[in-house]
Amino acid sequence: MAKRGYTRDTIRGGASEWDVSRPFSSYVRTLATLLAHPIRFFELLPRIPDMRAPSLFLIFSGLPAAILWLLFWGLYPALVALVLPLPLSFILAVLYHLGVLGGRYGYVVTWRVLAYPLGFFLPLVAVPMLGLLGAAYSGLVLMPLGLTKVHEVGVWRAGLICAAVGVLFGAAYYFLIIA
């Protein structure tokens, strides 16, 4: 018997979420759904303040990302790719949530929306040419779709929020790394 307020779908993660009992096959399925059917993914995403499945998805996404960083860039970037995604997601979610204030749900649901595109992006960022494409798809397609479908904010508002966060992080990258 599940706790009061929880159903089998919320404990195991609904039809669209990452299933913790089958991590590898569920990870591949989630990535494929985010690539092929992102609207359906965000329509089915449960709007509950449960952080377990997205947290584990981000941690699991860090494993292939760390392997790719190790192959392309070395040990220290691989360790960063393994440890940084979860704390970074909480900071990024604050920025996105400030943009959707007055939306339908709270911060944790905004974080849930962010966790899956970020997990999609993590392995791609290590590969030299795929990083930019992954950033564009995750930040300018998946995130606006997620904010629009989950928080029920307008498409233009979600697009502007995601573009602003992208410009902010692009400028930070430029000034910290390149300049």
Instruction: Flag whether 136 is in a domain.
Output: yes
- What does the mean pLDDT of the chain come to? 85
| pLDDT for residue 18 | 67
Instruction: Flag whether 123 is in a domain.
Output: yes
Number of domains in the chain: 1
Q: Are 140 and 169 in contact (CB under 8 A)?
A: no
Tokens of 164: 């602003």
* DSSP state string for 68-135: HHHHHT-HHHHHHHHHSHHHHHHHHHHHHHHHTTTSSS-HHHHHHHHHHHHHHHHHHHHSTTHHHHHH
More confident residue, 41 or 102: 41
Instruction: Flag whether 4 is in a domain.
Output: no
Please indicate, yes or no, whether the overall pTM of this predicted structure exceeds 0.85.
no
Instruction: Flag whether 73 is in a domain.
Output: yes
pLDDT in tens, 25-70: 888 899 999 999 999 999 988 888 888 888 988 988 989 999 988 9
Instruction: Give the pLDDT band of residue 17 (cuts 50, 70, 90).
Output: low
Burial of 135 (0-12, 13-18, 19+ CB in 10 A): middle
* DSSP state string for 44-71: HS--S---HHHHHHHHHHHHHHHHHHHH
The SS3 assignment for 43 reads helix
- Domain hosting 133: range is 17-178
Instruction: Flag whether 149 is in a domain.
Output: yes
The SS3 assignment for 179 reads coil
Instruction: Flag whether 9 is in a domain.
Output: no
Q: What are the C-alpha distances in Å from 16 to residues 8, 32, 42, 93, 156?
A: 13, 11, 8, 20, 25
Instruction: Flag whether 167 is in a domain.
Output: yes
